[in-house]
């Protein structure tokens, strides 16, 4: 992002703070995303929506639901052996090899921080026996949460025209996941050391740049495929208030600016003083392009 785009992002947030202190309405929010939603994490109250029921592709934010199902199943220190079929997915992966063994807990860290599609496949097969069987669980759990306009066919979010969600549904799924302590721990982790059974080490870094650039951010999950464009589910905790936002189908600068806008709006709306929300670290334009499945 050039200096002009960076300054523009800062100006949007500064303008938002002025609007909020003057009693702005939610429809005044300057968002680029096609769809968005914002909820109070504790009460479940919707604080903002934009095209909340529009059909969108979730990309790797799918992994929020995958993780929720695995965590709810429990026994997270159980050893899982990688099967050949787990490795037949591209492109974002941890290069799992058939026969390798990891705990479910390790695999959850790898899936959510690296956004590894092979790890998602491994967890799905371990949980349900096959990807189709796991997809059935995904759709059932989503419906139980009220996410009735979504349909899932895989655990990772690589594009399939029959794999879709809405901003409304995705924020409900994210809120349920954030009620799980292990999930909260993982999505707020910036760095994690991934160790293979043969002793190889890889330092994983969370793709969610807001963890480093928005004070109080404590999650959640990025996503990208060409049809989905950029996706970000994010959360922030300040002053005893927690909000969760969903931004769907926008460009790379947009996910960061829109998400900061929503988080700021929600926290102030819930009672956090505006002066405590001002964030001077608008640079989220770190090197690197989004990859499919992240």
In a domain, 287, yes or no: no
20 or 153: whose pLDDT is higher?
153
Query: What integer pLDDT is reported at residue 272 of this predicted model?
Result: 85
Is it the case that residue 276 has pLDDT exceeding 90?
A: no
Cα 48 versus chain centre, distance: 18
Chain mean pLDDT for the chain: 89
CA neighbor of 277 nearest in space, from 229, 249, 252, 243: 243
Range among 180-189, 256-265, 279-288 with highest mean pLDDT value: 180-189
CB 88 within 8 A of CB 156: no
In a domain, 282, yes or no: no
Distances (CA, A) of 249 to 89, 100, 133, 229, 269: 23, 36, 28, 5, 25
Instruction: Let me know if 149 is a catalytic residue.
Output: no
Q: What is the mean pLDDT of residues 250-263?
A: 92
Count of domains forming the chain:
1
82 or 274: whose pLDDT is higher?
82
pLDDT digits (tens, 9 = 90+) for 61-110: 999 999 999 999 999 999 999 999 999 998 778 999 999 999 999 999 99
Least confidently predicted of 22-31, 103-112, 280-289: 280-289
In a domain, 294, yes or no: no
User: What is the share, in percent, of the chain residues with pLDDT greater than 70?
Assistant: 84
Is it the case that residue 4 has pLDDT exceeding 60?
A: no
Is it the case that residue 10 has pLDDT exceeding 90?
A: no
In a domain, 251, yes or no: yes
In a domain, 61, yes or no: yes
143 or 283: whose pLDDT is higher?
143
Query: What integer pLDDT is reported at residue 85 of this predicted model?
Result: 96
pLDDT digits (tens, 9 = 90+) for 204-238: 999 999 999 999 999 999 999 999 999 999 999 99
Is it the case that residue 264 has pLDDT exceeding 80?
A: yes
Instruction: Let me know if 115 is a catalytic residue.
Output: yes
Which residue in the list 41, 61, 63, 137 is annotated as catalytic? 63
Reading the block at residue 285, the tokens are 């334009």
pLDDT digits (tens, 9 = 90+) for 114-147: 999 999 999 999 999 999 999 999 999 999 999 9
What is the residue range of 187's domain? 3-277
In a domain, 288, yes or no: no
pTM value surpassing 0.85: yes
Which residue in the list 35, 41, 60, 235 is annotated as catalytic? 60
Query: What integer pLDDT is reported at residue 29 of this predicted model?
Result: 87
3-state secondary structure 168-228: HHHHHHHHHHCCCHHHHHHHCCCEEEEECCCCCEEEEECCCCHHHHCCCEEEEEEEEECCC
Query: What integer pLDDT is reported at residue 11 of this predicted model?
Result: 59
Instruction: Let me know if 92 is a catalytic residue.
Output: no
Query: What integer pLDDT is reported at residue 292 of this predicted model?
Result: 53
CATH code (residue 270)? 3.40.710.10
Which residue in the list 35, 61, 93, 115 is annotated as catalytic? 115
Nearest-angstrom CA–CA distance, 220 and 189: 10
In a domain, 152, yes or no: yes
Query: What integer pLDDT is reported at residue 92 of this predicted model?
Result: 78
């Amino acid at each position: 992002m050039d200096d002009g785009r960076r300054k523009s992002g800062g100006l949007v947030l500064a303008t938002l703070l002025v609007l909020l202190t003057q009693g702005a309405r939610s429809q005044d929010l300057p968002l680029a995303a096609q769809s968005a939603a914002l909820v109070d994490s504790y009460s479940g109250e919707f604080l903002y929506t934009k095209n909340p029921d529009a059909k969108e592709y979730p990309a790797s934010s799918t992994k929020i639901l995958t993780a929720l199902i695995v965590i709810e199943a429990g026994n997270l220190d159980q050893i899982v052996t990688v099967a050949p079929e787990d490795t037949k997915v591209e492109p974002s992966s941890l290069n799992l090899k058939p026969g390798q063994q990891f705990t479910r807990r390790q695999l959850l860290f790898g899936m959510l921080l690296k956004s590894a599609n092979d790890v998602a496949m491994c967890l799905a097969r371990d949980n349900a026996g096959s990807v189709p069987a796991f997809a059935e669980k995904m759709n059932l759990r989503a419906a139980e949460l009220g996410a009735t306009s979504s349909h899932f066919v895989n655990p990772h979010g690589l594009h399939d025209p029959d794999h879709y969600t809405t901003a409304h549904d995705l924020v409900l799924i994210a809120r349920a996941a954030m009620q799980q302590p292990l999930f909260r721990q993982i999505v707020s982790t910036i760095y994690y050391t991934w160790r293979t059974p043969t002793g190889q080490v890889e330092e994983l870094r969370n793709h969610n740049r807001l963890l480093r650039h928005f004070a109080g951010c404590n999650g959640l999950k990025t996503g990208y495929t060409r049809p989905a464009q950029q996706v970000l589910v994010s959360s922030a905790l300040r002053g005893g208030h927690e909000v969760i936002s969903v931004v769907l189908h926008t460009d790379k600068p947009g996910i960061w600016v829109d998400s900061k806008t929503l988080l700021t709006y929600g926290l102030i709306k819930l009672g956090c003083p505006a002066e405590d929300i001002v964030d001077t670290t608008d640079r989220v334009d770190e090197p690197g392009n989004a990859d499919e499945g992240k």
